[in-house]
Amino acid sequence: MTFPKLVFRAHAVRRMYERRISDVDVRHVLDSGKTIEEYPNDKPYPSRLILGWRGSRPIHIAAADKAEDDEIIIITVYEPDPVKWESGFKRRK
């Protein structure tokens, strides 16, 4: 089985560093998380918002799927704000 290549945008790397989210955390969320929002009309590639958990910590990943090159482009990574998200972090308030 082949896995898609991950491409981390500079913005995502900065945010990961600031928020203490590792590339291992990102891979875990991609492997075990669920897509909670889809943006099929995003340019240049369709993107999605993924929710996953590292222990009790929720993590959102915005990622674009570049299917022709078998790549997932990591746009940003963050811990969702409970003020902006409903309990469970799957739906915006």
Q: Is 33 within the bounds of a domain?
A: yes
- The torsion defined by the Cα of 54, 58, 61 and 65, in degrees rounded to 10, comes to 70
Q: Is 85 within the bounds of a domain?
A: no
19-28: per-residue pLDDT in tens? 999 999 999 9
pTM exceeding 0.85: yes
What is the per-residue pLDDT for 10? Answer: 97
Q: Is 25 within the bounds of a domain?
A: yes
Q: Is 43 within the bounds of a domain?
A: yes
Between the CA of residue 70 and those of 2, 43, 66, what are the distances in Å? 9, 17, 6
| Total number of domains in the chain | 1
Averaged pLDDT score across all residues of the chain:
94
Answer whether residue 3 shows pLDDT above 80: no
Between the CA of residue 11 and those of 3, 14, 63, 89, what are the distances in Å? 23, 5, 12, 22
Q: Would you call 12 helix, strand, or coil by DSSP?
A: helix
**Residue 4: band (very low, low, confident or very high) from pLDDT cuts 50, 70, 90:** confident
Query: CATH number of the domain that 57 lies in?
Result: 3.30.2310
Q: Is 90 within the bounds of a domain?
A: no
What's the CA gap between 50 and 60, in Å, rounded?
5
| Residue span of the structural domain in which 38 resides | 5-78
